[in-house]
Structure 1
């Protein structure tokens, strides 16, 4: 399952995954959920960090901006230190992940490449994570204009500095407008409220601008670290273009290869693909074909 799903189960129901446990992927949430599970008494077999090594160098040019948000930067360093003190293995440069079935057809191990060799670890649960992107289902349904985020390989709604979208009167704030975290969402929400009050003639432009200064400064601090994080944790190519045998719709057991064959046969959109192979039509209705 995903790290996000495991975090929800832990927080909402105090449930933890079966052990031995392996976490694999890239991004800050991978470290956070690892620490949270460790604090809950879960034994972690290993953390497989799939961040490509060359991205550490690509992110260096953004490091000065990241220092504007020292608390968040320190939190990340603190999580790494906590996991190291706990003796949890963190294997960097992992690639070619493969879940291996055990005798009962459930997962029994995870196979991967690291350090130039093929390795295998036993696990009863594999948690995966490849970053967080904005949820744009509602903004797409409203036919708002969107821009492509090439670093994170996702779409985000086009908004102005006050959060107003391409359709006047519709505002987008928080992570739906671009991943920046809870504190940024709070500051951005304040800006949206001030602009709405101005448009309703409850505040003059001068009053709006004066009241917005603190929120704008906070939003700037929270966003300053994003270029560094986005460059460092850009999804690796192997996850953007999975191998043919990779299952992309678990409910209907549809593989990436099957979807590619659908495209070759003439399918040009997710709805038509669903009609052909039911991808995204199972119990989770995750819209996998999209």
Structure 2
């Protein structure tokens, strides 16, 4: 029997595993969470008192159904899952995995990467201070522990996640001081029309969520500085759409400009990448069903930002593509229906990208003393000074200036660094190149590397 390894147990990974199990295969799933669900359908610990409706809102039914399906397959022994585990890299057809028991090698014939997405961050002066988080971190704390990260929270950035997290925090009774969106209303209206044409109900739900924020929400703002003391953030300085200055007192800031695909393992698996003008990021090169070549398949937000519904569809398509390549018969009518639905998701996603663009101008105008790389403490001015020796190429700038060399491996600073390189060199951001992924893709103690358990 063919060995299929799935990395990630979010909506895409769960649907891929279900599809393979139905076909008689026994996929192995590796996930960093305690239980399946991913970020969007993250499950709280046992005994948690907030019900699914409070955690997932209108998506509670979908989340609960996915959880029940995956748990049933585990009980039946049709899926093997390694929770609390991370794939650090690959050695041929062996995935190097670290988990509670140490390091193991998991062999595979086919690989499905459903690694999801993460926050796309832009530097703001003062963002290196303790008490400044990503939107995703604020959401994780709320879903997994029922914790609001502050008593007076400023949420800033752009994209659907901004309004969603604000709505969830307000509904939970947290103290939200302001919701600051850098996307102008005119841009949002143009992209929103495309969104509404593709998925009217989802768009209407988002607008209703936004309306519920009332005067907390401000569009077209420009973030100037996070003021902080020894005890963390104290205020956010910003200008409104008319250029008027504002100071909002706060004790916590959460930032995020929509999402970016988590692609480190795709890079280590040898997949080619293309620059996406739509998303202003590098994305893996795959066909319409998720094939990347060499027995590797991608599904969900790890190949393009499509959301939870799109991730489920992409998971089924990738699994069916894998089955077809292994010689299994697949339901063509169901596949074609999923292809049409995924095309609609992609149209919606393009509307999202148009409505909530990456704040290129804000990043290019950063003061030189702004910390660009939080891991290494490298400022925007220090990066620009490196260009005289490194030239306008991201990997050389990394090697000489240490931007992207910290524990996040450039996940948070790569896009902003490319923007600054492009601005100083007079080139497009894509011409600055893409930071190459390096194993291990997650921080791991040396002791784990020395205590290899064996090979599955």
**Superposition TM-score tier, normalisation by shorter sequence:** 0.7 to 0.9
Name the CA distance, whole Å, in 2 between partners of 1:139 and 1:184. Answer: 19
Identify the match of residue 77 of structure 1 among 182, 202, 207.
Answer: 207
Q: Classify the secondary structure of the residue corresponding to 1:48.
A: strand
Q: 1:142 to 1:228 in 2, by over 3 A?
A: same
Name the CA distance, whole Å, in 1 between partners of 2:216 and 2:311. Answer: 34
Please say if residues 149 and 155 of structure 1, whose CA atoms lie closer than 8 Å, have aligned partners that are also in contact.
yes
1:41 matched to 2:167:
no
1:137-175 Cα distance to aligned partner (Å, 9 max, x none): 11222232222111321011111112111x242111111
Please say if residues 289 and 317 of structure 2, whose CA atoms lie closer than 8 Å, have aligned partners that are also in contact.
yes
Please say if residues 187 and 354 of structure 2, whose CA atoms lie closer than 8 Å, have aligned partners that are also in contact.
yes
Instruction: Indicate the larger mover: 236-245 or 110-119.
Output: 236-245
Name the CA distance, whole Å, in 2 between partners of 1:275 and 1:155. Answer: 20
Name the CA distance, whole Å, in 1 between partners of 2:409 and 2:148. Answer: 24
Tell me the equivalent position of 2:349: 226
Q: 1:268 to 1:228 in 2, by over 3 A?
A: closer
Please say if residues 22 and 44 of structure 1, whose CA atoms lie closer than 8 Å, have aligned partners that are also in contact.
yes
Please say if residues 66 and 226 of structure 1, whose CA atoms lie closer than 8 Å, have aligned partners that are also in contact.
no
Please say if residues 55 and 232 of structure 1, whose CA atoms lie closer than 8 Å, have aligned partners that are also in contact.
yes
Query: What pairs up with 1:3-152 in 2 under 5 angstroms?
Result: 3-56=135-188, 58-59=190-191, 63-64=193-194, 66-84=196-214, 88-102=215-229, 104=230, 106-114=232-240, 115-152=242-279
TM value normalised by structure 2: 0.57
Please say if residues 232 and 252 of structure 2, whose CA atoms lie closer than 8 Å, have aligned partners that are also in contact.
no
Please say if residues 248 and 256 of structure 1, whose CA atoms lie closer than 8 Å, have aligned partners that are also in contact.
yes
Identify the match of residue 258 of structure 1 among 371, 382, 401.
Answer: 382
Structure 1: stretches of 5+ with no match in the other structure = none
Name the CA distance, whole Å, in 1 between partners of 2:400 and 2:283. Answer: 29
Report the CA distance between 1:181 and its aligned residue.
1.0
Report the CA distance between 1:65 and its aligned residue.
5.8
Name the CA distance, whole Å, in 1 between partners of 2:363 and 2:325. Answer: 42
Tell me the equivalent position of 2:54: none
Name the CA distance, whole Å, in 2 between partners of 1:19 and 1:48. Answer: 17
Structure 2: stretches of 5+ with no match in the other structure = 1-132, 415-434, 436-456
Number of equivalences: 280
Q: After TM superposition, where is structure 1 displaced by more than 6 Å over at least 4 residues in a row?
A: none
1 or 2, which has the higher strand percentage? 2
Name the CA distance, whole Å, in 1 between partners of 2:208 and 2:278. Answer: 26
